[in-house]
Structure 1
Amino acid sequence: MKVFQPSVCFFVVWLTFDVTVTLSIPPPGLSASSHNERSTINLPRHELAKYKPPTQGFGGPPPPVGGATRGGQCEGDAAPNDLTLTGLTPNLGSEDSVNLSYTLSTSPEFLIYLPQTSARQVEFVLKDEDEFDLYRRIFEISGESGIAIVRLPEIPEIVVNKNYHWYFSLICNPNNLRKNVEIDGWVQRLDLDPTLENQLKRADSIARSNLYAEAGIWHEAIATLARLYLENPDNPAVIAEWKFLLESAGLEKFTEVPMNLIELEETPES
């Protein structure tokens, strides 16, 4: 398990006038060290990218399923900040609405908030609509709180306009899986619009995240911005973008969580 932990909590005060900040971001294909230019980005409040879920033309909703626990923590664990296991996916509907998010990829990334926990393993599972496994892996964790990122390998079975059911579990007691704490949701892959494709080719990281968000492509929007935040933990433009993206997706409870991004590694096979 690799943990990247800039020592930063972010607090943003919104101003009523436009603010211009300078953000150093390498263009696509260049590393930060090879890029000497600095780009000036105007980010008044009303221009921050708001997540807009697709509303038509992308297949049907996933079938209703039940039985999954919505968040929680292992028995005996404390949640000092009242935040429990949660998938960082858009939360814009009612409690009974289906948790559906969108990607362009056959290897999407999932961001999960992990509370401080006594569990030392987690499991991620991806299934098709018929509940057949496409991917299932167990990962080791340290038990510290943070935002875990799971990047799936290439899965050719993830095709456009189909729904896929994902599950993420805290393995609280390996000898009694009934004690697991589980969250779930649905992901659908969309086809890349040619206009958006051309815009992405010309955009830097922060602009790409904005474009994804405006197009409703949640997984790419949040993963791109999370990695940019790690590289620029003190940049007010990135902090503002991160806060506003989460707020626009109904995830305002997580805007003040320190950016402790945990890259999960598969456990060695026995």
Structure 2
Amino acid sequence: MAGLNQQLPQKQWLRLLATGLMTVGIFGWVEPEAKAVDVIGRIRQIFGGDTQQGGATGRSRGGAIRDEYCIYRNAERDPIGRTLENLVALLPTANIGQTTKAYPAFWFYVPVGQNADANHAQFDLLDGETLEPIFTRPIRFELPETPGIVGFSLPESSPPLQIGKNYIWFFSVECSEVDASRNPVVFGEIERVEASAELNQQLATTPDAQDYGIYAEFGLVYEMLTSLVEHRQANAEVWQFVLEANELSQINGSSVEMLTPYAFPAYSD
């Protein structure tokens, strides 16, 4: 394994990591059992509360290398000194989800602001079948000045997600520009599906602040999270539950920052 961690370029490292994830079966589509439950019950079901896996498994959390991990050294600490060091993707335990959007939003907890060790984050997207990168180079962002929940939408200058296709994505904090294997990373899988007539009908008769419940009912995780983020003040209890399901109950979830790509390269055909 030592040889794998020496100066791996970004594309090679992501393809290798994605291959390993597929091999060990981290990804795999599991349709939630359809049953009539309240909204909190449905979200609990989505986030694993009704499965043998229990709550958050940690698969959506970036691991720490304590002696050289740029996030750990600079992470915010809670009042009794514990380090809030994990990079977290807001996702169910299996790190998978569906969307109807061509350009969906993604949500993360980044435990550090800009510092001497890390100033940038980056996002990459792979074809779920071929593991070929969609972009020629990752989308890059400047880190916010302070830790917190961040999000971004795929730029409309990028190719839209195709209906019926699966994609694997990676979001990382850039500790090293030359060795991608040193960068704390979280990953997930997204599938674009077609919006049904029933979904559209229910959305048309539901107030915007309550859309998250409809998206939860239809298993559309990415839209559910985006709706909750946008209307978190009106749905404080549900938003807090989502934070707790992602082991983020100790953070201030009221502050959210949208990231704007400052470097978006040409994409692969």
Partners of 1:177 and 1:245 lie apart in 2 by: 30
Q: Say which SS state the counterpart of residue 134 (structure 1) adopts.
A: coil
Give the 5 Å matches for 1:112-261.
112-117=108-113, 118=115, 119-129=118-128, 130-135=130-135, 136-154=138-156, 155-156=158-159, 158-229=161-232, 232=233, 235=234, 238-247=235-244, 250-251=245-246, 253-258=247-252, 259-261=254-256
Q: In percent, how many aligned pairs have the same letter?
A: 25
Q: Which of the pair is proportionally richer in strand?
A: 1
Asked if 1:50 corresponds to 2:63, the answer is: no
Q: Say which SS state the counterpart of residue 214 (structure 2) adopts.
A: helix
| Aligned-residue offset at 1:124 | 0.6
Does the CA-based 8 Å contact 2:140-2:263 persist in structure 1? no
Which blocks of at least 5 consecutive residues in structure 1 are unaligned? Answer: 1-44, 54-67, 92-97
Does the CA-based 8 Å contact 1:114-1:148 persist in structure 2? yes
Give the 5 Å matches for 1:79-98.
79-81=76-78, 82-83=83-84, 84-91=86-93, 98=94
Q: Say which SS state the counterpart of residue 159 (structure 1) adopts.
A: coil
| Aligned-residue offset at 1:86 | 0.7
Q: Pick closer, same or farther for the CA change 1:182–1:101 going to 2, 3 Å.
A: same
Q: Pick closer, same or farther for the CA change 1:109–1:268 going to 2, 3 Å.
A: closer
| Aligned-residue offset at 1:100 | 1.1
Q: Could you tell me the TM-score, scaled by structure 1's length?
A: 0.64
Partner of 2:24: none
Kindly provide the CA deviation profile for residues 17-59 of structure 1, in whole angstroms up to 9, marking residues without a partner as x. xxxxxxxxxxxxxxxxxxxxxxxxxxxx955463255xxxxxx
Q: How many residues align?
A: 198
Partners of 2:227 and 2:152 lie apart in 1 by: 13
Q: Relative contact order, CA 8 A, sep 6+: which one is greater? A: 1
| Aligned-residue offset at 1:239 | 0.6
Partners of 1:146 and 1:256 lie apart in 2 by: 11
Partner of 1:59: none
Partners of 1:108 and 1:49 lie apart in 2 by: 24
Does the CA-based 8 Å contact 1:50-1:245 persist in structure 2? no
Partner of 1:111: 107
RMSD: 2.9
| Aligned-residue offset at 1:101 | 1.1
Q: Which of the pair is proportionally richer in helix?
A: 2
Q: Could you tell me the TM-score, scaled by structure 2's length?
A: 0.65
Alignment counterpart, residue 96 of structure 2, candidates 100, 113, 118: 100
